[in-house]
Amino acid sequence: MVRLGWIAQQSGAELHGDGEIPVSRIDTLVDADASAISFLTNPHYKKHLAETRAGAVILAREHLDDCPCAALLTDDPQLCYARVAALLAPSDEFTPGRHDSAVVDADATVDASAWIGPTAVIEAGAIIGPGVFVGPGCVVARGARVGAGSRLVSRVTLCHDVVIGERVLIHPGAVIGADGFGLARAAEGWQKIPQLGTVRIGDDVEIGANTTIDRGAIRDTIIERGAKLDNQIQIAHNVRIGEHTAIAACVGISGSTTVGRNCTLGGGVGLAGHLEFGDNTHFTGQSLVTRSFSEPGLYSGNMPALPNREWRKAVARFRHLDEMARKVNRLEREIQELQRRTKGD
């Protein structure tokens, strides 16, 4: 249990109410009890505010009159909620050492303050820095490096020579540094192109579960510091992701594409290869992007779902768009000719 006043001080929120109220966890407006602190970040849930049983609620000042309990007032409830949740989250502390079932090569370097979990494998030449947590079933291949304070939760695979920065969080099942999809067409089928680069991950990056980041074909694939990647993302060889860019689940980024700083990619976005996107470019979910965008802004590139009958009609019309465009152009020319003749008369 911690006191509400301490939470307000640590999160930078303005306290409205009794600072001695004890709270121990975060919960929703509907489910919270007096020991929980709740939050209102989406106006859709305002209907639950008046009846909440929470000990306190994080909210904007405009909603204070509807709050029946203590409040933490802030201009950005979402950010304040994130800070408070971090304060109340269970600790990630661990005891340094290695599990008896871990396999650590004699030529690997493992800092004394790191933890190597059950069945983890650390190959020759790998370097595990101070305070690193290598969870169950992880593989750190030859020559890979993991920076101080990073956490490989479980079943994470770092292929050879991958470089992980400091305080990086990698969730279960992620694979960093597998070969990119490099193939040349041959008469008898496909010729594999050796993937000679690696992957370099900057400080304070988070990589979601089952996300894959391919190694570069010649130069490296790079994820710059502070980038946040959701689950089940595919990043191909030689991609570069800029600082503090956030990418939602199921995004696919083709090879040699560069995404700038402070960008966002919504769920299911697909980026074609060899494109460049400037800083502060944002794409809504399911957008299919086949050209570069250098200017900051919000972009969308797909048609929302329609009733099936309407969709069938629209598809039928799509097939005639080129013919319709030619007819429109012809009609415009005819109108212009008529206007010219009228003026001449």
Residues with active-site annotation: 237
- For residue 84, which phi and psi values (nearest 5 degrees)? -70, -40
Measure the CA dihedral 163/165/167/173, to 10°: -30
Phi-psi category of 17—alpha, beta or left, where left has phi over 0 and alpha has psi -120 to 50? left
> Burial, 202: exposed, middle or buried (Cβ in 10 Å; 0-12, 13-18, 19+)?
buried
Chain position carrying tokens 């191909």: 236
Q: How many C-beta atoms lie closer than 10 Å to residue 320's C-beta? A: 10
321 Cβ contact partners less than 8 Å away, ≥ 6 residues apart: none
Of 52, 44, 58, 79, the C-alpha closest to 4 is: 58
Residue 248 to residue 255: CA distance in whole angstroms: 18
Chain position carrying tokens 């305070």: 131
